[in-house]
Structure 1
Amino acid sequence: MALSTVPAPAAQSRPAADPSQDVSRVKAVLFAARRTCRSVSSCEEAVRLWCSGYRRADGDHDGIPCENVCSTKQEVDAIRARIGC
């Protein structure tokens, strides 16, 4: 009795992903997962946390993350411009 071979399905071609983007996303998620507004001590830390994916930092959606350390939108906007967020 001969065994028949079934041809393997053709591999679907997918564009090659940039591994550095994947690593950056993972790092951002891990950074955000470890940090909360209670754990930051400066507005710059809060803005970095927010820009890294911690959306709960601006719960009221007024553009000011972690209002325990950031007081004005102008302060936040200046930090965002400086760090490129």
Structure 2
Amino acid sequence: MGRGFFIFIAGLALFGADNGIARDANVGQSLVIAQARRTCKTVSSCREAVIMWREGYSRADADKDGIPCENVCPNKKLVDEIRAEIGC
């Protein structure tokens, strides 16, 4: 697994899941998935794409329209709903 995966796990161990890194088990699990998959071709959901994008994969929104990985995120409304859900 990549370096980012281990940094994420170390962060959870040091700071815990209640500090805003992960709001619930589903978000924490999604963050691990997002760290393991680093391209839009490999994500399987818009939620996963949004998390990956917010965690630093700027190429997910190459055209800077606010919609990451347009292969799985159909519109900005859905992206905004997901961002609100996960707190970013």
> What range is the shorter-chain TM-score in?
0.5 to 0.7
Deviation readout 1:54-81 (Å, 9 max, x if unpaired): 0000000000000000011000000000
Q: 5+ residue gaps in structure 1? A: 1-19
| 1:66 and 2:45 matched | no
RMSD: 2.7
The structure 1 residue matched to 2:78, chosen from 72, 75, 78, is 75
Deviation readout 1:18-51 (Å, 9 max, x if unpaired): xx5xx89xx99xx27x511011000000000001
Equivalence for 2:87: 84
Q: Distance in 2 between matches of 1:46 and 1:70?
A: 8
Compare CA radii of gyration and give the structure with the larger one.
1
| TM-score, normalization by structure 1 | 0.62
Q: Distance in 1 between matches of 2:87 and 2:56?
A: 14
Relative to total residues, which structure has the larger helix share, 1 or 2?
2
Structure 2 residue matching 1:56: 3-state secondary structure = helix
Aligned pairs for 1:4-83 (under 5 A) are 20=11, 31=35, 34-83=37-86
Q: How many residues are treated as equivalent by the alignment?
A: 62
Q: Distance in 2 between matches of 1:50 and 1:68?
A: 14
Aligned residues with identical type, % of pairs = 63
